[in-house]
């Protein structure tokens, strides 16, 4: 089916709309935008290019997508936003394009769920299967791993990372890297509260994998070993467990330190 466009919407002539795209009332879609098939764009949505949007996304309305980065260093250079497939973008969400200094691109994976008023800033790289609760906010240059959850009204400081399958509780302030598989909660300072066991079970992790993650967590944070000693022990004892290897690699590559 051809795209269905409400007569009240304004769309640049060079916009490319895939099959079966629906554009609701009073939308504004600027130049250099590509929208994949089956995507629904709700009323009053604003999209500014360069933006590439994949298939079957749902924009519920009043969202602002691909707008200029909120960065004083931005001087109008050409940057872009790339969004994957099957995302749900609720009301008043904002996702900004990248900056030249940050690599020029913001990426947003597939099957993510962004609740109302959540925000992804410039040069962020968000994986897939991520949940942003209401008002969750990423500053610039943040990396978010697959299947993580950012709780309501939580904020992630620029250049920080959130590991895969991490759970960030509501109203948390993340100023260092948040460990994968782990629950992180609190405001200045945030702290860890054990492994996100329920989340891992829901994702189909085996009991053996969950126990390996729990062991890695205990070695790192409960053994009283120095950081390097703990990492070496994890790498030796969990060498055959992918989750254990990833856990150690994540900590080793932290540039801002980790939340403990």
| Tokens, residue 136 | 């969750």
H/E element holding 174?
A: strand 173-174
Name the active-site residue from 71, 86, 122, 177. Answer: 122
Name the active-site residue from 71, 85, 86, 123. Answer: 123
Dihedral through CA 181, CA 182, CA 186, CA 188, nearest 10?
-90
Cα 182–chain centre separation: 16
Q: Is 244 a catalytic residue?
A: no
27 touches 46 (CB < 8 A):
yes
d(CA 178, CA 159): 12
Q: Is 140 a catalytic residue?
A: yes
* Eight-state DSSP code of residue 69: P
d(CA 13, CA 10): 9
54 touches 36 (CB < 8 A):
yes
Name the active-site residue from 36, 98, 140, 163. Answer: 140
178 touches 184 (CB < 8 A):
yes
Residues forming the active site:
122-123, 140
């Amino acid at each position: 089916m051809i795209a269905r466009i409400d007569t009240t919407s304004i769309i640049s002539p060079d916009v490319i709309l895939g099959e079966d795209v629906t554009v609701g009332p009073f939308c504004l879609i600027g130049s250099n935008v590509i929208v994949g098939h089956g995507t629904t764009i709700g009323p009053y949505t604003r999209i500014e290019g360069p933006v590439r949007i994949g298939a079957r996304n749902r924009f519920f309305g009043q969202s602002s997508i691909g707008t200029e980065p909120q960065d004083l260093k931005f001087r109008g250079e050409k940057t872009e936003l790339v969004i994957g497939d099957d995302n749900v973008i609720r009301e008043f969400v904002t996702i900004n394009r990248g900056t030249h200094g940050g690599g020029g691109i913001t990426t947003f994976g597939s099957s993510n769920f962004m609740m109302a008023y959540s925000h992804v800033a410039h040069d962020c790289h968000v994986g897939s299967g991520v949940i942003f609760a209401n008002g969750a906010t990423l500053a610039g240059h943040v990396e978010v791993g697959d299947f993580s959850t950012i709780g309501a009204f939580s904020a992630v400081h620029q250049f920080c990372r959130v590991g895969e399958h991490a759970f960030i509780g509501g109203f948390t302030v993340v100023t260092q890297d948040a460990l994968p598989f782990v629950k992180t909660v609190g405001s200045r300072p945030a702290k860890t509260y054990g492994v996100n066991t329920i989340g891992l079970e829901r994702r189909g992790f085996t009991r053996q994998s969950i126990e390996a993650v729990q062991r890695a967590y205990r070695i790192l944070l409960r053994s009283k070993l120095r950081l390097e000693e703990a990492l070496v022990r994890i790498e030796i004892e969990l060498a055959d467990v992918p989750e254990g290897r990833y856990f150690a690699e994540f900590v080793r590559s932290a540039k801002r330190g980790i939340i403990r």
